Structure 1
Amino acid sequence: MKNMIALFVWILFHSVLSEEPNKYTSMYDNIDLQEVVHNERLLKNYVNCLLEEERCTPDGAELRRNLPDAVENDCKKCTQKQKEGADFMMQYLIDNKPEYWNLLQKKYDPSGSYRTKYLEAKNGAVQEENAKESSEHHII
């Protein structure tokens, strides 16, 4: 399965098709992602909807219905802001809510490809920052 980048695009942007062909709606692009991640009830409701453990709101049902296409197609119909939002949400879950991430990964990314990609990028960023700090110390 390709990148799971689309997973939280749908959660955050409610996966309704837009008027623009081959793009998802941008109607929800201005959702406050910090509010979502810091509202346990809201976050848990979306996770449970995606796991088919609870009844979904209309936007959650749309998300669950369209998520496989978004995951399979590497979020090609997403706006740049949606891709950034999806990355933020998945990184937040991996780092802060692994119990949610593990359940969602099992269902939507059983190969673990997104987690692997994220951790490699995170490790690369840490190594780059350490190298930069090291070179700055040599200059001083």
Structure 2
Amino acid sequence: MQFKSVILIVGLVIISISAEEQYTSRFDTINVDEILKSERLLNNYFKCLMDRGRCTPEASELKKVLPDALETDCMKCTNLHKKMARKVIDYIVKNKNEMWQELVGKYDPKGTYRTKFEKDAVAAGINIQA
């Protein structure tokens, strides 16, 4: 095998690995503002995340990746994912604190992630202590 062929194969492997390193972009077109403005939609997502209701494909995907995203500092998140997450967290902390506390209780019962992300949240203008 020629050296150029080996380089090409290695390059293709690296590209395919890095493509798998990010969460799916399949739901990047979700209108987060619409969900946050709709009590029904927001409650449906919440119930899914808390194992209290059925999950849409989008909510199911969120539920699947959320523990990994927390564990890895959202390493596989795109910039859009991070922007959407900030918007949702900010809204829930400010407007649905009971919901926020329940989510934290389930997904961060020891406060591990809260401690890790608090500085970034404050820099983004989000008070996660609320």
Deviation at 1:75, TM superposition (A): 0.8
Change (3 A) 1:64 1:121: closer
TM-score (norm 1): 0.65
CA shift, 1:119, in A, is 4.4
SS of residue matched to 1:20: helix
2:11 equivalent in structure 1? none
Maintained 8 Å contact 1:23/1:77: yes
- Root-mean-square deviation over aligned CA pairs: 2.3
CA distance in 1, matches of 2:91, 2:28: 18
The alignment status of 1:122 with 2:125, answered yes or no, reads yes
Q: Which range moves more in the overlay, 19-28 or 88-97?
A: 19-28
* Residues 22 and 77, structure 1, Cα contact 8 Å, conserved in 2: yes
Q: Which residue of 2 aligns with 1:58?
A: 57
Q: Could you tell me the TM-score, scaled by structure 2's length?
A: 0.69
Question: What whole-Å deviation, never above 9, does each CA across 1:58-110 have from its counterpart, x for those lacking one?
Answer: 33333323321111011111110110110110011001111111110111123
When the two structures are aligned, how many residues end up with a matched partner? Answer: 105
CA distance in 2, matches of 1:39, 1:53: 18
- The structure with the larger Rg is 2
Percent of residue pairs bearing the same amino acid type: 42
Structure 2 residue aligned with 1:11: none
- 1:113 and 2:112 matched: no
In 1: Cα distance, 2:32 partner to 2:61 partner: 19
Whole-Å Cα distance in 2 between the matches of residues 121 and 64 of structure 1? 24
Residues 115 and 21 (structure 1 numbering): CA distance in 2 closer, same or farther, change over 3 Å?
A: closer
2-structure distance, mates of 1:99, 1:22 = 33
Contact 1:94 1:115 (C-alpha < 8 Å) held by counterparts = no
Matched, 1:98 2:97: yes
Residue type matched to 1:113 in 2?
T
Aligned residue for 1:26? 25
Structure 1 unaligned segments of length 5 or more: list them.
Answer: 1-18, 124-140
* Cross-structure match for 2:9: none
Q: Distance in 1 between matches of 2:59 and 2:30?
A: 15
Letter in 2 for 1:107: K
